Amino acid sequence: MAGGLAAPFVVFGPSHRLVLELIVIVPLLLAALVRLTKSVTLSRVIAWTFAAVIVGVWIAWYIVFSRQGWLDIGNALPLDLCSWAAIATVIALITGSQKAYELAWFWAMAGTVQGIVTPDIPDDFPAFRFIEFSTFHGGIIAAVLFLTLGCGMRATPKSLPRVIGWSLLYMVIAGVADWLLKVNYGFLRAKPGHASLYDLMPAWPWYIPYVVVLALIAVLVCYLPFFLVDVVAWVRKKR
């Protein structure tokens, strides 16, 4: 359970590549199935299953980390962006909320994707940390892709100010918690201890403005697919 017998995790190793492939393949297949059958019931079952998996893995994480003595103030609070993305994703899956979907899409595509590409985990499959991290983060991304491709949900121009506002609120809350508790949620108090884009930035606190600018750029990049769809639709309408 602790993963002590597992091999060290290797970025883009066989297990990691399989996870990345499944994150894309699974929602594509499920979305195609829903569109082919046009079944609202099937769509809801899949959405609720995604929600159950994300919540179940999150609960399992707390149980195992508590029993192994890995739980502390620096990881027990839901103050990392992926936790907020998970909450927004579960709400969108269960309720179909447009505003929850918007947050889930942008936070998953801009933040959770980076996390799954450069995971901060010590052991490879079949260690618990590998399975939990891959299922939790991969589940968020796959669920958001399913909501987009299978359920037809999408971001709109009105999504941008809302997402930016919520993201800035997250940074304020995480930053205050980091200052008061001497922790590092959101990597606002120190760079990650593993390889990431932060390695290309200046030392703390000078990388914070870079993070803000990159976050704004990421929001625009994540909106680009929807913008292009609208442009194509507008061109076809004009013909």
Q: Are 127 and 91 in contact (CB under 8 A)?
A: no
Tokens 């809801």 appear where? 44
pLDDT for the residue 130: 95
Whether pTM exceeds 0.75: yes
Task: Give pLDDT tens digits for 73-111.
Answer: 999 999 999 999 999 999 999 999 999 999 999 999 999
The 10 Å Cβ neighbour count of residue 8 is 10
pLDDT for the residue 5: 65
pLDDT band of 6, cuts 50, 70, 90: confident
Task: Give pLDDT tens digits for 145-181.
Answer: 999 999 999 999 999 999 999 999 999 999 999 999 9
Q: How far apart are CA 22 and CA 125, in angstroms?
A: 15
Amino acid symbol at 194: H
Measured CA to CA in angstroms, residue 182 lies from 83, 94, 219 at distances of 19, 35, 29
| Residues 6 or more apart in contact with residue 116 via CB below 8 angstroms | 19, 20, 23, 134, 137, 138, 141
Nearest Cα residue to 136 out of 115, 157, 164 = 115
Nearest Cα residue to 11 out of 121, 131, 138, 135 = 121
Q: How far apart are CA 59 and CA 43, in angstroms?
A: 24
